[in-house]
Amino acid sequence: MKPQVNKSKKKDKKKFKLGLPPAALVFTGEKKIETVDITMITYDIDGVSEEVVTMDQLPEVLKSKRKVLWIDIDGLHDVELIEKVGAIFSIHRLTLEDILNVQQRPKMEVFDEYIFAVIKMIKCLTPESEVEEEQISFLLMDDVLVTFQEKKGDVFNYVRERIIEFKGNIRKRSGDYLLYALLDAVIDNYFLVLENVGEKIDLLEARAMNNPDTDTLNQLYRQRREMAELRRTIYPLREVIGGFDKYAEQKISPETKPFMRDLYENTIQVIETLEVFRDMSSGVLDLYMNSLSNKMNNVMKVLTIISTIFIPLSFVAGVYGMNFEHMPELHWRYGYFYVLAGMATATIGMLFYFRWKKWL
């Protein structure tokens, strides 16, 4: 997950909003790209066009659009530009505040003019890498969809490919289907991330069993924090996706509603998978503690066996180490050798006995 330094920065940003009036537009994240890029894809069944536009060109683009228009804005640090976008599309300032607040809890709201949804996009390229999180906001106004991202790079490449190359039915459908396709891409990516997280847990399980060292313990605690962050990110999705069927019934076409219900089922499956991995993560920590305890028990068993073997030997050596005058064995010619032989016999006998009891 994100380093502790980033978390402290988040807290500082949140404190910065204290005392400000409601709907105050303040970007609470970190500047991840130098300039804000606006990409426009407009399409219908007859054609498609994709181009990068500027803020000044945006009003003209809206007048000459095709059936469906997707405007993708990468970069949230330019508050003035985001405010101008809000003025063009008549976006409520409370919505703009949620867009700029990158710590916003995933949610969905229905306004008279548009549907607003904010979710988290997560990435984890390999089982060894950490989970990265980025906030994405969606505004659907009839057949115009506006997306806000913190930086360039997302999981929508397959959607863009289907639009440009006329794959599937996406160019035959309306803007709400495009919203579904983008949400589906984000949730499908959750499965890939959770697959890598599952492999990471398996690797930690093997390390916890075979080599329960301090580094393994640190990784286990980082994994538990990561699972807590994933739970905070994924759990609200059930409310977000379910809200399209409950609260946005008038704004979602009948053709798209079955896809939204299927997306809700996928969301439930993601949550169930997350819960399984959370239980596994807790189980790995228990396994680590048991392995460490077992390792300590083995060490104590070896030390106990060694002590048990030397107890009678120490007793014999102590008896014959006393400086009494009348000890007949001390004057016996072969006494020393018989004592050594007796001590060796006792040692071997105890080793055979421990072996027979399966203590060795």
Q: Contact, 154 vs 186, CB < 8 A?
A: no
Residue 180's pLDDT band (cuts 50, 70, 90): very high
Q: Contact, 186 vs 136, CB < 8 A?
A: yes
Higher-pLDDT residue of 5, 305: 305
Return the closest-CA partner of residue 216 out of 131, 295, 122, 126: 295
CATH 1.20.58.340 in the chain: give the residue spans.
Answer: 295-356
C-alpha 295: how far from chain center: 31
Q: Per CATH, which fold does 295-356 belong to?
A: Methane Monooxygenase Hydroxylase; Chain G, domain 1 (1.20.58)
Q: Is the pLDDT of residue 1 over 50?
A: no
The predicted pLDDT at position 8 comes to 41
Q: Is the pLDDT of residue 110 over 60?
A: yes
CATH 3.30.460.20 in the chain: give the residue spans.
Answer: 4-291
Among 144-153, 159-168, 333-342, the range scoring the smallest mean pLDDT is: 333-342
Alpha-carbon gap, residue 245 to 352, rounded angstroms: 74
CB burial of 146-165 (b: ≥16 within 10 Å; e: otherwise) equals bbbbbbeebbbeebbeebee
pTM, whole model, 2 decimals?
Answer: 0.78
DSSP string, 6-65: HHHHHHHHHHHTTTPPTT-----S---SSS-EEEEEEE-SS-EEEEEE-TTTHHHHHHT-
List C-alpha distances in Å: 90 to 26, 33, 82, 135.
19, 26, 12, 22
Ramachandran angles phi, psi of 146, nearest 5°: -115, 130
Alpha-carbon gap, residue 342 to 339, rounded angstroms: 5
Spell out the CATH class of 4-291.
Answer: alpha beta
Percent of the chain whose pLDDT exceeds 90: 28
| Strand stretches in 75-169, DSSP E | 107-110, 115-123, 132-141, 144-149
SS3 of residue 298 by DSSP: helix
Mean predicted confidence (pLDDT) in 65-93: 89
Alpha-carbon gap, residue 266 to 191, rounded angstroms: 9
The predicted pLDDT at position 65 comes to 66
The predicted pLDDT at position 10 comes to 44
pLDDT tens per residue across span 234-245: 999 999 998 888
